[in-house]
Amino acid sequence: MTVELKPGERLDDLQLNGLKLIQRPDAFRFGTDSVLLADFAAPRKGDRAVDLGCGTGAVALLMAGHRDALTVQAVELQGDIADMARRSVALNRLEARIQVYNMDMRDAWRTLGAGRYSLAVCNPPYGRNGAALESLSETKRLARHEGDLTPEGVARSAAMLLKNGGRFCAVYPAHRAYELMRAMDEAGIAPKRIRTVHGVAGRAPKFVLMEGVKQGGEGLHWLEPLVLRNADGTFTEEWHRIYGV
């Protein structure tokens, strides 16, 4: 399908099943964290998924590419970014499986329904409000700085949409991992799996991949650390597996 690109937009290759993504250099673009989250979430057969703060749609598209028949309701606050996501979905002929909604994730349950989903994913803004120099671009600022969308707001949004036993998966800066764990716990989502992400072995983690289960029991499983590069700078076998290279 031919989809018209607007001025300043470009088409990027997601390196999975020929999937393409419309992006704009002056807006926040998907990165390694999105690819890692889609892999970590590992949608299961029969999952109904929701992507909170989907951006241009990278995680939703990657999950759909990994799991045939998966349906994803993708939620994005910024109208122009949501429009790019919709056109990317159309470009990849996935309109029957991915729907994009322009709304605040905290209100998503009112439209999408409470307690209906088995999987929620989120790659939230990383910058604590007021703690970092904010981007001059309003689009980038909203994507990178949490503003009034705190970890508590993200976790509550996921909890409202998930059914009991449903999974919530997120990627977050390692130094803020406790904030996300606490927010999940307060929202009734029990942290169950954590995987730290390291640029190279022997260094502190950059990110954490975290999975929680709504109304889940006790027991936290620490997975093997994910290392992206070898000591010589080449990518590790795990990186190659995730990227399908």
**CA separation for the pair 67, 39 (Å, rounded):** 11
The phi, psi pair for 65, rounded to 5°, reads: -70, -30
* Assessment of whether the complete model's pTM goes beyond 0.85: yes
Element (H, E) at 11: strand 10-13
51-74 burial: b if 16+ Cβ within 10 Å, else e: bbbbbbbbbbbbbbbbbeebbbbb
Residue extents of the structural domains in the chain: 10-191
Residue 109 predicted with pLDDT over 80:
yes
- 144-202 tens-digit pLDDT: 444 578 999 999 999 999 999 999 999 999 999 999 999 999 999 999 999 999 999 99
Identify the architecture of domain 10-191 in CATH: 3-Layer(aba) Sandwich (3.40)
**CA separation for the pair 37, 169 (Å, rounded):** 7
Name the residue among 87, 82, 47 with its Cα closest to residue 64.
47
For residue 19, the model assigns a pLDDT of 93
**97 is written with which tokens?**
């499986």
What stretches of the chain show up as alpha helix (H) in DSSP? Answer: 32-41, 58-66, 79-91, 108-112, 138-144, 151-161, 177-186, 237-243
